[in-house]
Amino acid sequence: MTRTPSFTRDELTVHTDPAELAKVTRALRGVGRKIALVPTMGALHDGHLELIKRSRRVPNTVTVVSIFVNPLQFGPNEDLAKYPRTLEEDLARCREAGVELVLAPSAEAIYGDDPQVTVHPGPLGEELEGAVRPGHFAGVLTVVAKLFNIVRPDYAFFGEKDYQQLVLIKRMVRDLDFETSVVGVPIVRDPEDHLALSSRNRFLSEAERASALTLPKALAAGTEAAIEGAEQGVAAARAVLDANPEVVVDYLELRGKDLGPAPATGEARLLVAARVGGTRLIDNTPVLLGVPEGGGSTELHG
């Protein structure tokens, strides 16, 4: 008889072999447990912990956190080499959060010797982040597809800070018939200065962090002005960004909530990417276009 894995709140099992992790999750599903996946690249912060908390609220669910710095989504001149790798600290945070399973594989374990097939993200993958980082979303969707096939999660939790990534993953799940419910979780911000939490924030000096606060301030200004329309919202956000020469903007765009063209009225998304010193940051916020005063919140998600 096959032994069924069992887990307690305080137990954490770490797997470096995707095949071994797959055996465990399939055995758990075989006895009626649900599987929740929280994919990360490590350097865990409170934003990641919020994803874990959300996953653990689902009844009868075992949470799997993947910790893998995915080389496929980094371009040749990007920060793969210096991306923070803090595995021991990450495992401690997972243990404290009650995570049951961690997958922490090598690149060789995920991709093998000669990977050739990737997932093409479609036209949206070449816009916004994709225009600045060619090939990025093919790398993202490929590793997410592989994780979905390894773990076979019932639910997967992703933060809205990487909003374009979230939209593309939902599209992939729909178009390729993955049996996974993708759950988006609102951005977690620093409670004092409202900077969106990111593993890359640790690279900011004190002065650079002060400049980085221009991003949430611009989004807040754009959200308020968008009550008058999309053009006004973008102009207000742009004015805040332009006032700080230390912030080099890659893009500032207002799109529909599915990242198509913005509607004349209703729900939309304001997105920004910029470089502060040597660190590239992204941020976004939901907005309501053409909504009269009192018709909706103009505060950033927190």
Which residue matches tokens 């949470």?
A: 63
Beta strand 279-289 with 266-276 is antiparallel
Distance CA 29, CA 92 (A): 26
Q: Strands, DSSP E only, in the chain?
A: 13-15, 34-40, 61-67, 101-103, 155-159, 181-185, 247-256, 266-276, 279-289
Q: Is 92 annotated as a binding residue?
A: no
112: left (phi over 0), alpha (psi -120 to 50) or beta: left
Q: Is 9 annotated as a binding residue?
A: no
To the nearest 10°, the Cα dihedral for 88, 93, 97, 100? -10
Q: Is 172 annotated as a binding residue?
A: no
Distance CA 279, CA 82 (A): 11
Q: Is 161 annotated as a binding residue?
A: yes
Q: Is 120 annotated as a binding residue?
A: no
List active site positions.
Answer: 48
Q: Is 45 annotated as a binding residue?
A: yes
Q: Is 147 annotated as a binding residue?
A: no
Q: Is 205 annotated as a binding residue?
A: no
CA separation (Å) from 168 to 21, 65, 120, 278?
26, 20, 10, 27
- How many angstroms from the chain centroid is the CA of residue 152? 19
Q: Is 44 annotated as a binding residue?
A: yes
Q: Is 47 annotated as a binding residue?
A: yes
> Which amino acid type is present at position 273?
A
Q: Is 176 annotated as a binding residue?
A: no
Residues in the chain, how many? 302
Q: Is 55 annotated as a binding residue?
A: no
Q: Is 198 annotated as a binding residue?
A: yes
Q: Is 257 annotated as a binding residue?
A: no
> Which amino acid type is present at position 263?
P
Q: What is the dihedral sign for C-alpha 124, 125, 126, 132?
A: positive
Q: Is 159 annotated as a binding residue?
A: yes
- Residues making up the annotated binding site are 41-48, 73, 159-162, 165, 188, 197-200
Q: Binding site for (R)-pantoate: which residues? A: 73, 165
Feature table: binding site for beta-alanine = 73
